[in-house]
A and B are shown apart, each in its own frame.
Chain A
């Protein structure tokens, strides 16, 4: 009973179907590879076309038109939108600020999550407990963390926890978020981000640490390497290269896409606005300038692509493979 299908799999033309035109029968169609390929991938590809390709294309198209309050503009303006958004100091300022932000937050998060992984990896007791503690913030959204940070931890008034603790040492209340000078708001943002992200990347590093063959450490000990810095520098770190590269890439992209905590922590302020928040206000704010907003989105995408490729070049994607 299963013979026909068996042959269908082996050759498109089964003996049961007409040998001249094998693809005509419904049975042969269901067995055909082409049909099945599109059956499996079709729904996804249609969605990808409609919700990813078309928006990107539309965005590029809009960026060359004067498109205020409309998404079907008629007036072609060439590169005017690009000129306008680049001359708009807010957006370029945001790009510069966030390149600095990325240059700071990426290595810091990398170091903290690696440090936590090294600590947890060496524990013998309570290991699962501590891993869970560091991992738990991953369950919180950026909005929830922003709320805790803004309303309680770094509340600018006397009853915020940070100001309370500083008060014990006689320090005056600090307006953490409400005053850009000195820019204390960066401390608030960086701590929130570290708290939210470190545990997640710690899990990645823990998995990678456990994949390092124990013999390497044994061999190093025989060769007289001291435990601690030497083995870390010459065995652990090189062995973690592939993971480090991936983590840094993920962190970089995440840094440029920062939105949630800035929008919530610094609402109504004009300082510390990341590119996406600028775009949000340009495109969906009072002016509804879809043209300039799209131009900004195109520029930001290009910047992220360049940074990603650049980072891949420096750290080397291929080179990570050999250490695996």
Chain B
């Protein structure tokens, strides 16, 4: 008995040691980010490694916004607008379609569903050349429309909503329809209010993916005024002069909105990932 117990203590000590070491490795990049963002350049590039600057440079926070070479503030605003509208639009369009496919009986519904499924086989990133061609012929380069609209029609998100609505309790929306709301009214007054958890989960993941996406904004944002924050960060890396503290502060600021999402919405996020397993 005591031997087994001792084994348990040793085992859990080993367990916590292994987990702790792994956690340290995962935290190193965050440490570098914070350290460099709050240091001066001589401290970063100095001969000796300073573990953490003793005189934290809080003034660095405003520097990316005052940088004349890259309009960082503008790129943050762009990312915010694009991220929010992309999320709202995707939720609206894909949830409606998912509900239609799952719950409105129609002769050809299966054929339509297959037409959606086929698009899952073609990864979105691979079609960026033809999509760019199309969007530029619409004259949408360097515009919010060009950044947002082509990404709204995600076959995968539609598929997830369909799967979710297949499991939605039939009694609820049928009762609402019988009460005279019709499909449309039942959807908005009964189905959506009773599915907010799922909507929140999909919204969180969609927002993160939208905020972090790079290839499409890079292709569409030809003019710096249309850059999202990811494109702006990328441009720092190819600039002639490198201001270490500035670009690390900019990176930290760019991650901040998502850290807030993580802190406050982690429940939905974890639930959403567990239910759906999507990313990018």
Q: Is the interface of B mostly helix, strand, loop or mixed?
A: helix
A67 vs chain B, min Cβ distance (A):
9
A98 vs chain B, min Cβ distance (A):
13
Q: Which of A5, A151, A158, A304 has the most CB atoms of chain B within a 10 A radius of its CB?
A: A151
Which chain A positions have C-beta within 8 A of B99? 40
Residue of B nearest to A206 (CB): B274
Q: How many residues of B contact A (CB 8 A)?
A: 97
Q: Is the CB of B19 within 8 A of A153?
A: no
Among B52-60, B64-72, B124-132, the one that faces the other chain is B124-132
Which chain A positions have C-beta within 8 A of B119? 48, 52-53
Contact with B along A237-268 (1 / 0, CB 8 A): 00000000011001001101101100110011
A16 vs chain B, min Cβ distance (A):
12
Within 8 A of A (CB), among B123-150: 123, 125-134, 136-137, 149-150
Q: Is the CB of A5 within 8 A of B215?
A: no
Q: Is the CB of A44 within 8 A of B93?
A: yes
B159 vs chain A, min Cβ distance (A):
11
Q: Is the CB of B122 within 8 A of A56?
A: yes
Q: Is the CB of B183 within 8 A of A59?
A: no
A103 at interface, CB cutoff 8 A: no
**Do A254 and B280 contact each other (CB < 8 Å), given the known contacts A40-B100, A119-B22, A141-B212?**
yes
Interface size class on chain A is: 35 or more
A182 at interface, CB cutoff 8 A: no
Contact of A2 among B155, B179, B238 (CB under 8 A): B179
Which chain B positions have C-beta within 8 A of A39? 100, 183-184
Complex: A257 Cα to B128 Cα, angstroms: 11
Contact with A along B131-175 (1 / 0, CB 8 A): 111101100000000000110110100100000000000000000
A200 at interface, CB cutoff 8 A: yes
Contact of B123 among A37, A195, A257, A283 (CB under 8 A): A257
Contact with B along A191-207 (1 / 0, CB 8 A): 00001000110011011
Complex: A305 Cα to B23 Cα, angstroms: 36
Complex: A153 Cα to B26 Cα, angstroms: 12
Contact of A133 among B27, B131, B137, B230 (CB under 8 A): B27
Binding site for B on A (CB under 8 A): 1-2, 5-6, 9, 30-31, 33-34, 36-41, 43-45, 47-48, 50-56, 58-59, 62, 71, 116, 119-120, 122-124, 130, 132-153, 157-159, 161, 164, 195, 199-200, 203-204, 206-207, 246-247, 250, 253-254, 256-257, 259-260, 263-264, 267-268, 276, 279-280, 283-284, 290, 293-294, 297, 300-301, 304-305, 308
Of all A-B residue pairs in the complex, the 9 with the closest CB atoms, nearest first, are A40-B100, A44-B97, A207-B274, A59-B130, A55-B130, A141-B212, A47-B153, A37-B106, A41-B100
